Structure 1
Amino acid sequence: MSKHTNDTLDAALRHLDPAPAADLTEAERGRADALLARIVATPADVPAAVEPVRPRRTRRRNRLLVAAGLAGATGIAVPALLGGSGAFGSWTAEPEPLSAEATAAAGTTCRAALDVPDLGEHAVLAERRGEWTYVLLAGPRSEANCLMPDGLVAREARNGDDDFFGSYSPDPSAPPTLRPDALEEGQSMEGSTHEGWFIWTSGYVGSDVVGVTVHTSTGLDIQASVAEGRFAAWWPSVVPNSEHPSETWSYTVHLANGSDRATDG
């Protein structure tokens, strides 16, 4: 549907709406922000089940992990600690790849924190940004993502007050068939730990893609981790509200022949 058609329909619907247009007062804006905060908040000690972590491939981004008790969901997501302060002060736009030993430890910690069995997944991506570790575990029978502080990875057991955010799918979709220079976003999520609000995005790239840069609407340029036809990146953000709408982003793929290509994913 064209933008012109969308604008025409929008104008027609607004004409039919008997409610007059009005700017929100400060009090109304405050109540709206408070309501949004209640919607996106999840108690720290209650895992939240959400819609499948491999959503349908659309251009819609920023899926909030807010739903609880969805019947028939094929994935789970666990925001361990929502709310708090801070802004991931140690975060870096360029990731540090993990050693083989650190990657194995991150995978073990991720499974333990999610309380899921080892079904033969391997760590496709494993990175560190500042004092935070991200790992993507993938296999034919399941897939898991975890974002966790380095201190948690170094310990054998997780405490109830640890910062941690993870998702798990016991029935992952088959990888898409892509052109060698293509990128396809598979999953994007928002959530928070004690450090603050964050966004992560991940997906698939073609065989000629050797790097990916994420460009956010807040002006960040983030180098994603890329390996085995997958990519992932995460960055600090703010809780969406009436004055700070959810972020959007685009990508630049860097190809083996030295050229670059812009895409929305």
Structure 2
Amino acid sequence: MNTRMAGLSNSRLDTALRSLDVAGTPTAEQRQRAAATLERIVTIVPAAGSDQPGATAPGRRSRRRLLLLSVAAAALTAAVVVLPDGVRGGGAYASWTPVPTVLTAAEVDIVAPACRDRLRGGHLDLERARLVLAERRGEYVVLLYRTDDPDMSGSCLAHNRQGTEDVDDVTFGIGGGSGPARPAPARGFTQGTVSDFRDASITDGAAGVEVAGVTIHAGDLTVQASVSNGRYVAWWPGPAFEREPGRLTGESGPRLIVTYDLTLTDGTVVHDAQPSRPS
């Protein structure tokens, strides 16, 4: 897969990674892991005011962000770059709820055009992508689009007060791989894309047929994911990674602070469940 990262070419990205690596010259094994990471890191299209096809339509407000960190769990052993972005005050997400509600068809029709506008021009084939999950938490909604071959997810977080047709503050992320998607084990799950905007994060993945619920712990927050038809998605008002400002924290980069509990259809709760593989 050809990937772009905030306008950097692969060679410039390699230089940036080397300059941020406090451990010195990487080993052959580290290089191999870093190459795997580059396959799974996907760029966010520049926000409003750019000439990219993902620019927000007139009349919709959008935050300007340089990069969305979008990385699969299997790639967390390799170095990643976190570029600075605009950070909004936490009060913007004051209406957030740990338990989601399902968007109605009418609400999806209102939000979907703005979401697809932002996803357009990325690595997700919108001609074939289908909407698999759509949830609301307070005044913000998430729509998750997917293709199974290649295994790609595109999610957007948008501000839409219930009962209105106003859609703004649209942020998005795209991630995945070049091969076909694999289902999760019956009593397990896979870790898909983790999108960290610093002041908000989104993650999705595959859930097994015997998984009734996915609970995500991110720092002090506990989040009940939306689960349907073998997929889950959730967002929360906070980071997914613990990071030290201005540099990578060791060879593996920022540390993922997300853990998972699974509730199975027979009532069993699996605490600190581990993903079987990237989705």
What TM-score bracket applies, with the shorter chain setting the length? 0.5 to 0.7
Unaligned runs of 5+ in 1: 1-16, 18-41, 68-80
Match in the other structure for 1:149? 159
Q: Which has the larger radius of gyration?
A: 1
Equivalent-residue separation in structure 2 for 1:86 and 1:183 (angstroms): 30
In the alignment, is residue 257 of structure 1 matched against residue 266 of structure 2?
Answer: yes
1:210 corresponds, among 202, 212, 221, to 212
Equivalent positions of 1:98-177 (< 5 A) are: 98-116=103-121, 118-140=126-148, 143-150=153-160, 154-155=165-166, 162-168=168-174, 173-177=179-183
Equivalent-residue separation in structure 2 for 1:130 and 1:62 (angstroms): 35
Unaligned runs of 5+ in 2: 1-23, 25-45, 51-64, 246-253
In the alignment, is residue 178 of structure 1 matched against residue 181 of structure 2?
Answer: no
1:50/1:199 Cα in 2 relative to 1: closer, same or farther (>3 Å)? Answer: closer
Normalising by structure 2, report the TM-score.
0.59
Equivalent-residue separation in structure 2 for 1:109 and 1:180 (angstroms): 35
1:61/1:187 Cα in 2 relative to 1: closer, same or farther (>3 Å)? Answer: farther
**CA positional deviation for 1:104:** 3.4
Equivalent-residue separation in structure 2 for 1:255 and 1:57 (angstroms): 24
Query: Percent identity of the aligned residues?
Result: 24
Equivalent-residue separation in structure 2 for 1:259 and 1:174 (angstroms): 30
What is the number of residues matched between the two proteins? 202
Normalising by structure 1, report the TM-score.
0.62
1:154/1:249 Cα in 2 relative to 1: closer, same or farther (>3 Å)? Answer: same
1:64/1:150 Cα in 2 relative to 1: closer, same or farther (>3 Å)? Answer: farther
Match in the other structure for 2:90? 86
Equivalent-residue separation in structure 2 for 1:177 and 1:86 (angstroms): 36
Equivalent-residue separation in structure 1 for 2:206 and 2:78 (angstroms): 16
RMSD: 3.9
Match in the other structure for 1:225? 226
1:228/1:64 Cα in 2 relative to 1: closer, same or farther (>3 Å)? Answer: farther
